[in-house]
Structure 1
Amino acid sequence: MSVVGEGARLVDVAGARTLAGDELTAEVTRSARALSALPVGVLFARMSVDLDSVLRYLGAIEARRAIALIDPALDADVLAGLIERFRPAAVLAAPDAEAPAGYRVEGGHWVRESADGVAPHPDLSILLPTSGSTGNPKLVRLSREAVLANAAAIAEVLGIDSAEVAPTCLPLHYSYGVSVLNSHLLRGATVVIEPSGVLGRGFWDAVAEHGITSLSGVPYHYEMLRRLKFDPAKYPTLRTLTQAGGKLRDELITEFNDKMLAVGGRMYVMYGQTEAAPRMTTVPAQRLAEKLGSAGPALPGGAFAIRRDDGSETTHPKIVGEVVYRGVNVMMGYADDEAGLAAGDECGGVLATGDLGYLDEEGYLFITGRLKRIGKVFGNRVSLDDLEQAVRAAAVGIDVVAAVPAGDKVVLFAELPEGDGAKAICKDAARALSDRLHLHSSGFDVRPIDTVPLLASGKIDYRLLGGRV
């Protein structure tokens, strides 16, 4: 089974080029042959939003070469550490810098000089780092079966067919971004490669010119689209919105759902993790208003259970615990180094998500927080996710906020213009939290920040903020 279905097309906006049919097949085959000639080992691909990156990715899938999708903006020292630990056969689209020891520059890539290396497990297809631009990431190991099964399930529940035209509005090294690519190409749809993203003018020009039918975003994108007064009536072909990558505020779900319904469109809210290749749920568009706040039921072929504190599992409604997912799209496991690439399936289709939540009577999942997103205020455990939601709900003028633990208090960074007005809003937010949790307001250090830092995926960079407290 190929990820490129019959009729699939790639539209390269920057290069003013369209690949389809035999020409697309020939380009993917050419890429596959070039990658097959590289030494044994995993391939590192720095995935810019461009045609070359997409063709290298598709070529690796065709050649059955395990490929790690790397953020092209990854810190040089983090990339160097990954290369040392995993000894990739090559770093594709290598940085414009001196190649590390043991590698030579060849055609814009760093190619390992030694032919010796660990052969990745034959089922292994895609690897994705577990963290952002800092830290010491492990690689999530995804099998070909997991990736294709998830793409097929997503295509089924979203009704993707050959008439769909999807843009690359998310980074291609991000699991959600590559999932959009996979699910559309698999069903013979069109993917428009446009690098500026939903906040760029070029993106909206492409929506109009190429008849784009859907848009995918994380919560931050929808916060920004609200500020930009997004109106789908201006784009007659754009009739589907999808959202994943974190919990979107209920009021924004309602707002965007109403906007889409008004023009005969639809909105889908989803939940997933990289470890599940990556999507696990979708709320049916026709039930989004009715199931507001839910992540939806499991995708076809998947199932949820709730793990209690004693380790037992239940599907009984309204019991809160750790969310456990079962499905063919679950990762094979993690890899810490080159040797780990040869390992087989270590998860058996079971993923303990680390998320807290419950199921309702119909099996719809509701996420309530993260096991590890916990802080303390004067010795009292508090959910950092709940604090962020409480600040937004307080209606003091804060929409984008990020909470990080800081000893016996919590620091909340609020995206606000600096000045006396911002300081007053921060004090109001601290008082609102104090009233809600019945804890002294000094336990909530609300600080204005020009822009909350984001990872390339559009998610908040909590690690970077943690270094500022």
Structure 2
Amino acid sequence: MYFWETKEEYYDRVFLLSDQGESVTYQEKDEICERMQKEIKQGELAFILCRNTIGSVLSYFACLKNRTIPLLLDAKMDYDMIKNLIKEYEPDALFYPKDQEELWKEFGQKGMFDEYGYCIRHQQKEEPTKIYKDLALLLTTSGSTGSPKLVRQSYQNIQSNADSIAKYLYLDENERPITTLPMHYTYGLSIINSHALCGATILLTEHGLFEQEFWDFLKKEKATSFGGVPYTYEMLKRLKFFDMDLPYLKTMTQAGGKLAKHLHQEFAQYAKDTGKEFIVMYGQTEATARMSYLPAKDSIRKAGSIGIAIPGGRIEIEDGELVYYGENVTLGYAQNKEDLIKGDERGGRLKTGDMARVDEEGYYYIVGRKKRFLKVLGNRINLDEVEQILKARYKECELACAGIDDHLYIYAEEENAPDKEEVISFISEKTGLNPGVFEVFYIDHIPVSESGKIKYKELEDVENVI
């Protein structure tokens, strides 16, 4: 059975519970999805502007159940970026939060759907978009930079990954995960999918780790698990997480980039000492969500490893690059609406772009990346795209981007350099990323080759950083 369908024994169970006190049972979810059949049609394309709220999750499940293809976007994404995606892909429907009514009243005719803070609008098109019969879901590839490049995921992709995750995490109906990640992000979405499969209760909040409301909700509703990217665990350490009394919390998962080895060791030891489990995982949107996991029992002795392949998957190293095989390998990319008719272009094989090694026991370790991507707060950020956004704004200054996971460095030649705070404010607003992940450096000159290409490997070693 698909995770967006409901086993009869789950009907009376609470599916979604928000920090606003609202709740929806599995049966109520199905009833709302059935009502939505009057609003959305099979084979149509819908954009969902996502928040971690009941209305947002229900919009997503209604699309899956009615075989409407959703593209999940951050509701806080820059307005112009969303408009550009609408222009490129011409969706038939748009789900949006009620408080954004003024932004989207020009989109088209307002529909009847008005549930839990979400509305829908419909757009009339001269010709329907041709869409591959097994296309189920579209997600962005590069964080919040507004790239038109999307990942095409099939029904088999998302179902097989939910099955696998539920299997290796031993999920059941007693789970109560709390949202620490946005649902439009592949890792956050996989938590929702895999727990829905098992009849669990998902605790929805938009509050962050630094807000007391988050911890009050977690404790009141007895959350059993949460997931986090490296930045999450850096913040937990600062918040003195190890001193908190959390008797109901039993599982912590981590993905979205490489966690510093010392933090891995500290959280693994904390889990062991308190009878909890700390599970590190590795994944990409191109593999639906996850490709490997490090079993909790090995978390201390194999600190720094991404573990072993998930159930149903297989990992190989080819010319130093990690290559993954499995049913969760997605169909391919879309650059425009014409690409939505494309079928499976990968055949279950994904070259990850990550360089890796394997030890004598078969545990894998990521040792580097082939291309210019960073994982920033769990989002995969294309440094070239960020660079182009900056160069379009600051035309008089030579700029370049580099960095490490969760820390994006912007280098600007001192001559004609813009104000550092202004740069950070601008790029934070454009990308939707926390200003704290950016750092601006003034330098004498950006190193380039004889052909004029930036020498990124030398950039962070450049002298005379100001």
Q: Provide the TM-score with structure 2 as the length reference.
A: 0.77
Q: How far apart are the structure 2 equivalents of 1:10 and 1:69? A: 20
Q: How far apart are the structure 1 equivalents of 2:88 and 2:198? A: 37
Q: Does the alignment pair 1:3 with 2:3?
A: yes
Alpha-carbon shift at residue 119 of structure 1 (Å): 3.5
Deviations 1:31-80 (A, max 9, x none): 3x1443x5853111111111001111111111111111011111122111
Deviates more, 1:288-297 or 1:231-240: 231-240
Deviations 1:229-270 (A, max 9, x none): 003751110011000000000111111111121111110000
Structure 1 residue runs of 5 or longer lacking an equivalent are 309-320, 376-383, 390-399, 424-438, 448-469
Q: How far apart are the structure 1 equivalents of 2:254 and 2:34? A: 33
Q: Does the alignment pair 1:141 with 2:148?
A: no
Counterpart residue number, 2:31:
26
Counterpart residue number, 1:103:
108
Counterpart residue number, 1:49:
52
Q: Does the alignment pair 1:132 with 2:135?
A: no
Q: Does the alignment pair 1:112 with 2:115?
A: no
Equivalent residue letter for 1:274: T
Pair 356,115 (structure 1): closer, same or farther in 2 beyond 3 Å: same
Equivalent residue letter for 1:285: A
Counterpart residue number, 1:70:
73
Q: How far apart are the structure 2 equivalents of 1:163 and 1:217? A: 21
Q: Does the alignment pair 1:152 with 2:163?
A: yes
Counterpart residue number, 2:416:
none
Alpha-carbon shift at residue 168 of structure 1 (Å): 1.7
Equivalent residue letter for 1:237: Y
Give SS of 1:324's match.
strand
Alpha-carbon shift at residue 29 of structure 1 (Å): 2.5
Give SS of 1:161's match.
coil
Alpha-carbon shift at residue 211 of structure 1 (Å): 1.1
Pair 365,75 (structure 1): closer, same or farther in 2 beyond 3 Å: same
Give SS of 1:182's match.
helix
Counterpart residue number, 2:345:
346
Q: How far apart are the structure 2 equivalents of 1:176 and 1:415? A: 22
Deviations 1:402-439 (A, max 9, x none): 446779xxx9x9969x9xxxx9xxxxxxxxxxxxxxx9
Q: How far apart are the structure 1 equivalents of 2:411 and 2:307? A: 30
Q: Does the alignment pair 1:61 with 2:60?
A: no
Q: Does the alignment pair 1:84 with 2:87?
A: yes
Alpha-carbon shift at residue 99 of structure 1 (Å): 4.6
Deviations 1:60-110 (A, max 9, x none): 111111111011111122111111111101111164345587733445433
Q: Does the alignment pair 1:253 with 2:272?
A: no
Is the contact made by 2:43 and 2:67 (CA closer than 8 Å) also made in structure 1?
no
Q: How far apart are the structure 1 equivalents of 2:30 and 2:342? A: 31
Q: How far apart are the structure 1 equivalents of 2:277 and 2:286? A: 27
Equivalent residue letter for 1:91: L
Of 296, 300, 324, which residue of structure 2 is paired with 1:289? 300
Equivalent residue letter for 2:371: K
Equivalent residue letter for 1:59: A
Deviations 1:195-216 (A, max 9, x none): 2133322221111111110011
RMSD across aligned positions (CA):
3.1
Is the contact made by 1:13 and 1:206 (CA closer than 8 Å) also made in structure 2?
no
Give SS of 1:68's match.
strand
Is the contact made by 1:9 and 1:19 (CA closer than 8 Å) also made in structure 2?
yes
Once the two structures are aligned, what percentage of the paired residues are identical? 36
Give SS of 2:308's match.
coil
Q: How far apart are the structure 2 equivalents of 1:440 and 1:246? A: 22
* Count of matched residue positions in the alignment of Structure 1 and Structure 2: 392
Q: Does the alignment pair 1:201 with 2:212?
A: yes
Q: How far apart are the structure 2 equivalents of 1:181 and 1:333? A: 23
Of 282, 285, 300, which residue of structure 2 is paired with 1:274? 285
State how 1:417-456 maps to structure 2 within 5 Å: 443=462
State how 1:369-388 maps to structure 2 within 5 Å: 369-373=368-372, 388=404
Give SS of 1:212's match.
coil
Is the contact made by 2:43 and 2:133 (CA closer than 8 Å) also made in structure 1?
no
Alpha-carbon shift at residue 361 of structure 1 (Å): 2.2
Give SS of 1:52's match.
helix
Counterpart residue number, 2:185:
174
Q: Does the alignment pair 1:16 with 2:21?
A: yes
Equivalent residue letter for 2:310: L
Deviations 1:162-183 (A, max 9, x none): 1111112210110001100001
Q: How far apart are the structure 1 equivalents of 2:306 and 2:412? A: 30
Q: How far apart are the structure 1 equivalents of 2:363 and 2:410? A: 29
Q: How far apart are the structure 2 equivalents of 1:199 and 1:15? A: 18
